[in-house]
């Protein structure tokens, strides 16, 4: 799933559950993921939202599916990110997701023997 900040930065998580462990409630309450640039999207373009209790986002953060699909809005946000970073590539969400996973993979720090890293993390980045 794509998590896009109001600054247009994109974070990618394999599942909403992983995103829930990384996103802090105070950032959500401060509007870090809202507005015209921010948002939560599945790779297929479904809009996801933060669950609220009494109108407030609570810790731990919970993410819910809405059943509304806005693939064009996701592509527009990814295109803005590409323009900002002077990147020329396919704005298709699946292509972008795979490129981000490859980038994350190349930046990871291996903290144990390579054979153990392969066993824990596999031979390559996740793919969508």
Closest by Cα among 8, 32, 11 to 83: 8
What pTM does this model have? 0.81
pLDDT in 10s for each residue of the chain, 128 residues: 999 998 888 899 989 999 999 999 899 989 999 877 789 999 999 999 998 877 788 888 999 999 999 999 999 988 888 888 777 778 899 998 888 888 888 888 777 888 888 888 888 888 88
Residue with the two structure tokens 């731990």: 60
The domain segmentation of the chain, as residue ranges, is 2-90
For helices 71-84 and 93-107, give the axis angle rounded to 10 degrees.
50
Distance CA 23, CA 62 (A): 9
Contact assessment for residue 92 and residue 44, using Cβ atoms and an 8 Å cutoff: no
> What pLDDT, in 10s, does the model give residues 62-99?
999 999 999 999 999 888 888 887 777 788 999 988 88
């Amino acid at each position: 799933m794509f998590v896009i900040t109001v600054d247009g930065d994109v974070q990618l998580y394999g599942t909403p559950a992983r995103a829930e462990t990384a996103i802090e409630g105070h950032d959500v309450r401060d509007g870090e993921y809202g507005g015209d640039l921010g948002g939560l999207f599945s790779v297929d373009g479904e809009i996801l939202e933060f669950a609220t209790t009494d109108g407030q986002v609570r810790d731990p953060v919970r993410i819910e599916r809405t059943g509304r699909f806005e693939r064009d809005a996701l592509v527009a946000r990814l295109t803005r990110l590409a323009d900002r970073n002077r990147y020329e590539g396919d704005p298709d969400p699946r292509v972008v997701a795979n490129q981000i996973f490859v980038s994350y993979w190349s930046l990871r720090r291996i903290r144990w023997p390579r054979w153990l890293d392969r066993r824990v993390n596999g031979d390559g980045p996740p793919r969508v």
